[in-house]
Amino acid sequence: MNDEQQVISTIIPTRNRSGLLKKAIQSVLNQTYPHIKVYILDNASEDDTESVARKFQKRDPRVVYHRHAYNIGAINNFAFGLRQVETPFFSILCDDDYLLPDFYENAMKAIARYPDSGFVALGCFVVDSEDNKIIRKPAINKNLAGYYEPPQSFNVMLKDWMTLTWTSIVFRTEVVDRIGPLLDIPCLLNDIEYLMRIGAQYPIVISEKPGAVFTDNPSGYSSVAWLEWIWPCFLEVIERIESYPSLSETQKKETRQVLLGRLRKSLVYSSLSYISRRDNKMAEEARIPLKNFFHAHIESGLLKTIILMNMIAPWLVQPLVNLFIKKRHTLIYLFENIQHTYKRSFARPLKQR
């Protein structure tokens, strides 16, 4: 490959986070791998985002800035960014995350070794946005490190997608062009579905080397857990995944089982999230599918009790629910570490090439 063929585009969607944006942009420009192009996609910010971006653009010709005339929504801005890619490789960087200096260099080495891979995923630190403490270390990728071909690549995405994040992934553009755009369904599963779609058709590479830092932000979509981003859109996305022609009937059955389990947990968390915001009406709306669709009478009953208590004695309920919300991801990542420690002890070695 010549230098032009090796260029990576970094897509940075942003809105009203100029302070954090500076660190994100600088982390790309500080890469030991020099062949990059940075797209800053400003979703009609009302702070000094434009001024910040213009300064970077003036200092470095690799920076491209685009400002939307009005707020087109986070998902549309994300999809707009994907359409701007004209280079052979790209990655997505949220404005509150940042890359480690040798991320692209290590990713491109893996791509050179496995040129048929759809994407390369490196490890990612997860930090708490409030105190900057590390919640999860990239070492969790150690047991998954390797080269996977379909159908194993899809199976890894299905079972271990929570250990991967777009922040530390480099995608091959020609692969993305072939599989099509993101689903036009506002849903928390959209980014995961995209990785599964790639894994169903192309080999993937997972590395244990650290590549980026992801910020666990309580105001993010996954933390706020709006019901419309979970129910009933999860069901539609699951049906889309089941329609992949390359999947076997066994994979389709397992896909439904795993993702319905994820939906069930997400509904519980969504209800608790609304309770923490004292929105008892929406908390009840999130509880109803647990009762009527899943027939999860235990979870449904407990949530109903908590909602009633939140109406009568919010001073008692709020501190406990808010503590759970705050520590939710810490508990999830702790469970992941325990799970992967078990796998390293008892599972078969992963395929390497």
Same domain, 206 and 315: no
**Is residue 218, in this structure, part of any structural domain at all?**
no
Same domain, 202 and 238: no
Same domain, 232 and 283: yes
Same domain, 162 and 283: no
Q: Which of 187, 212, 237 is the last residue of a domain?
A: 212
Q: Which of 157, 191, 212 is the last residue of a domain?
A: 212
Burial class (CB in 10 A: 0-12, 13-18, 19+), 298: exposed
Same domain, 186 and 227: no
Same domain, 190 and 239: no
Same domain, 111 and 10: yes
Question: Using CA atoms, how far apart are residues 220 and 20, in angstroms rounded to an integer?
Answer: 14
* pLDDT one-digit tens code per residue, 228-279: 999 999 999 999 999 999 999 999 999 999 999 999 989 998 999 999 999 9
Q: Which of 212, 233, 249 is the last residue of a domain?
A: 212
Which residues are CB-contacts of 258 (< 8 A; sequence separation ≥ 6)?
A: 158, 159
Q: How many domains does the structure of the chain reveal?
A: 2
Domain that holds residue 64: 4-212
Same domain, 150 and 256: no
Same domain, 183 and 43: yes
Work out the pLDDT band at 347, boundaries 50, 70, 90.
very low
Q: Which is more confidently placed, 121 or 353? A: 121
Question: Using CA atoms, how far apart are residues 329 and 332, in angstroms rounded to an integer?
Answer: 5
* pLDDT one-digit tens code per residue, 114-151: 999 999 999 999 888 777 888 777 766 677 889 999 99
